[in-house]
Chain A
């Protein structure tokens, strides 16, 4: 008895949604816009799947009828209008650069400047004094010791010092 109760529940759920809709008189579900082929302006898609203008006005309908005849009968403006019905932007318009780089560069500099302000504030208000090993006397003694030890004598600091005249090489 329990098994038959479960089976009837499963059986009810197994009827599909569309079948139920059709039973109530709805017919097929309307296809959403995003499921249909779309128009796209891309350099690598020269002929998109649909034309740009979907719903033609009466004037455009008449033009489309005229297009079915000989094309040499069309004026230049009509040809351009037909192009604009089929496509949104020309390749030239599509590839045209913008001035976005100016905005980006400006934004970058702005935030760099803001960061600089933060760093200046920190140095002035937050950080304590630097170590005593950065004082002039200490640095001089340090450099003298490096020269005495002949640190980097070939191309480095000891190569820049003239040991005979006791001064930096010119």
Chain B
């Protein structure tokens, strides 16, 4: 062994440091994934439904489907 001593390693507060790191990381990761889902999936879906129903006419839709012959009780005359 050489005459120079190695620097004394960190002896205390090891768990505290690890915990701080992981608590912060877990918080950030979960918030990020929630935000990504909200703005990547949830909001576009809500917008798609809103857009669809803005110009939706159920009676016209019914007449089209009837004409195509998909209804058993409402055949195309």
Contact = CB atoms under 8 A, between A and B. Distances in A.
Interface of A: 76, 79, 145, 148-150, 153-155, 159
Interface stretch (B10-18, B26-34, B45-53): B45-53
Contacts, number: 20
B24 interface: no
A112 B44 CA distance: 39
A150 B48 contact: no
Given A148-B68, A148-B69, 18 more contacts: A76-B1, A79-B1, A145-B70, A148-B65, A148-B70, A149-B65, A149-B68, A149-B70, A150-B61, A150-B65, A153-B52, A154-B48, A154-B49, A154-B52, A155-B45, A155-B48, A159-B48, A159-B52
Contacts of B52: 153-154, 159
Interface in B19-66: 45, 48-49, 52, 61, 65
Chain B interface size, under 10 / 10 to 19 / 20 to 34 / 35 or more: 10 to 19
A55 to B, nearest CB: 27
A134 B70 CA distance: 21
Contacts of B61: 150
The 4 closest A-B pairs by CB, nearest first: A148-B68, A154-B52, A149-B70, A148-B70
Contacts of B1: 76, 79
A79 B48 CA distance: 75
A51 B53 CA distance: 79
A10 B61 CA distance: 98
Contacts of B48: 154-155, 159
Nearest to A149: B70
A169 to B, nearest CB: 14
Nearest to A76: B1
A70 B16 CA distance: 40
